[in-house]
Amino acid sequence: MPRVLPLALLGVLASFAANSLMTRLVVQRHLMEASLLAEVRFISGAVMLIAIALVSRAPGNAVPRRRHLLPALWLGSYALLISYGYQHIGASAGTFVFYAAVFLSLVAVDTSRGVALSARRAVSAGLALAGLGVLAAAQLSTVTPLGVVLLAATGAAWGLYTAVGRGVANPLAMTTGNFVVVALVMLVPAALTSAGVFGPATMTPAGLAWGLVMGAGTTACAYPLWYWCLRHITGAQAGLVQLTVPIVTAMAAVGLLGEPFSARLAVAATLVVLGLGLGLR
């Protein structure tokens, strides 16, 4: 296992948490609609990855090929579903459904490949998910069947996109091709949304700036690195480490967005940390 793997994982998880935090900021303050934010994010991410391919003198990395179609389908489904899913369920409750679906889909892929889930990792995942459940319990009144279905599908799509990355030889080239396919598909709805074809679309200069930072910054940098990390961990481990993202996001929101710190958050964080420690020991 590479010595830099823990640092790489920390960078990826911090970027994922930053994306969640920026999304919450943009949507809660009505700086841009969630669907348009997703479109700006992945289109700008594709542009950044194409620029990296050109600077590194590997323009062929930016050319989509047949192998990019399936992961692009999972990535595009994730981007689309998550934009609408949280409109039908509270943030904490939706996060629980999402990450439970991510973990279960990765375990299912591992099982199909002959890698069984150990009892220790099952217990560790149970602890971590219980921590997220503590946060979700405060929003049971926001749960709707449609919200559960949408967030479960979102989590499954992200889990399958993650699973594809475990066998990738060139994470940067693969991610670039995936993003180019998704961006090309998103160009049309982005243009129609901006033109107001689907009704009034909220997009402020600040919201656009945050979308570009997410796309060209934390997304374009983190996604190839995530695929690299996946070459060195199991699917269960990949699902487990991602359970820390909601806690990191919630903690950061306390300091950066002024959200209150509660005993519920402290209990949730403790359970997630215990689960992570047990599962990765």
pLDDT surpasses 80 at 190: no
In the 3-class helix/strand/coil scheme, how is 221-267 assigned residue by residue?
HHHHHHHHHHCCCCHHHHHHHHCCHHHHHHHHHHHHCCCCCCHHHHH
Buried b (16+ CB within 10 A) or exposed e, 91-122: bbbbbbbbbbbbbbbbbbbbeeeeeebeeebe
* Tokens read off for 127: 């602890």
Q: 279 vs 68, which has greater pLDDT?
A: 68
Q: 280 vs 193, which has greater pLDDT?
A: 280
**Mean pLDDT within 142-147:** 90
pLDDT surpasses 70 at 191: no
pTM score? 0.90
- Which contacts (CB < 8 Å, 24+ apart) does range 256-265 have? 256/21, 257/21, 257/24, 257/25, 257/28, 264/134, 264/135, 264/137, 264/138, 265/135
pLDDT tens digits, residue range 209-237?
999 999 999 999 999 999 999 999 988 89
